[in-house]
Amino acid sequence: MTHRFYLNEDNRIMDALNPANNEKADWWEDYGYPRNEQCFRELLLWRHLGELLPNLMINTNRIKVFYGGVEYQPPCEETVPMWSALHATIKASHLNTLDVALSVQHKFDGKLKREKPGWEDVTSLSLFVDDVERLLRDLYGESDIEAIDRVREAVLVIVTTFTEHLRRDLWKEHDDALDFDYILGIGVPEGCGISGSEWRRGMWAKVALFTRACEVSTNPSAYSEYTVEFAKRFGEHWALPNNHKEFLSLTEEEKMRWLAPAMNSSLTEEGIPF
């Protein structure tokens, strides 16, 4: 195989290596796009990023009605700046300079091989970043793992920063997971202990994560795909309250007292059992 990306008769991008990418994006001569494989790859990257973001940030806009009774939902304005920032960052990275042929020679098998020792690794943000990494490994191949790792880190920084201001619940879920992991021994520097303030912060983070899992389980349609998946995994490992609504009606102090015995379960050396 000498070429991977090409155009069909309708100027839609085709992928000789991964047919799942076929016709996902269009090439427009009027926009001044170069007619080469690197451009085709960048257009596919743009389209796929746009498809992943709604799985992270659910569109809460109300359905509107066009003239004639046609219903439509306005796009989620919060995703657009993040979409643009992610695409521009990846385009400007060393990863985007790699020859397309390398993705054929070093084909991605579809499976990430990263260890996931803590709850930080399965938050909504991390699940999104995992899918972006899968996309990168598919489009660029696995010839330069260091370049992929650097871009992955940049993607996590971007989505963490944006969500802190645009969708704070997503940012807080991730931040709470970091604090909870810490009192479980994950991320603690070798030879160091856990201070009293760190323990208290971690315990309150535990309360917040139990609350988050109960809220999502009670009304999953109000949350994004990644958040529902996080709540599912969290609930599979920790014994959530039988009556979610009753638990959610408690004060934070009452939730803390309820959860204290629930700490009997702990992480194994292998990490979270999925």
106 and 205 part of one domain: no
Range of the domain at 83: 5-166
143 and 185 part of one domain: no
Q: What is the pLDDT of residues 194-227, one digit of tens each?
A: 999 999 999 999 999 999 999 999 999 999 999 9
Q: How far is CA 86 from CA 107, 126, 174, 190, in A?
A: 23, 15, 19, 34
Assign 110 a pLDDT band (cuts: 50, 70, 90): very high
Give me the chain's average pLDDT, please.
92
The predicted pLDDT at position 260 comes to 75
Helix axis angle for 168-183 and 145-166, nearest 10°, is: 120
156 and 221 part of one domain: no
pLDDT at residue 248 tops 90: yes
Query: Helix or strand or coil: residue 5?
Result: strand
Average pLDDT over residues 120-127: 98
155 and 124 part of one domain: yes
pLDDT at residue 57 tops 70: yes
The predicted pLDDT at position 67 comes to 76
195 and 92 part of one domain: no
Could you tell me if residue 211 is inside a domain? yes
Query: Judging by beta carbons within 10 Å of its beta carbon (0-12, 13-18, 19+), is residue 253 exposed, middle or buried?
Result: exposed
108 and 237 part of one domain: no
* Domain C-terminal end among 166, 185, 213: 166
Average pLDDT over residues 117-122: 95
The predicted pLDDT at position 60 comes to 84
Q: What percent of the chain has pLDDT over 70?
A: 94
Average pLDDT over residues 25-49: 95
From 77-81, 142-146, 163-167, 257-261, the region with the lowest mean pLDDT: 257-261
Average pLDDT over residues 25-46: 95
Q: Say how many domains are in the chain.
A: 2
Assign 61 a pLDDT band (cuts: 50, 70, 90): confident
Q: What is the pLDDT of residues 12-21, one digit of tens each?
A: 999 999 999 9
Assign 270 a pLDDT band (cuts: 50, 70, 90): very low
65 and 144 part of one domain: yes
pLDDT at residue 170 tops 80: yes
Host H or E run for residue 71: strand 71-72
17 and 151 part of one domain: yes
CA distance 269 to 126: 21
196 and 123 part of one domain: no
Average pLDDT over residues 246-255: 95
Q: Which residue has the higher pLDDT, 56 or 61?
A: 56
Assign 74 a pLDDT band (cuts: 50, 70, 90): confident
The predicted pLDDT at position 1 comes to 63
| Residue 187 Ramachandran class (φ > 0 left, ψ -120 to 50 alpha, else beta) | left
Helix axis angle for 168-183 and 196-218, nearest 10°, is: 130
29 and 132 part of one domain: yes
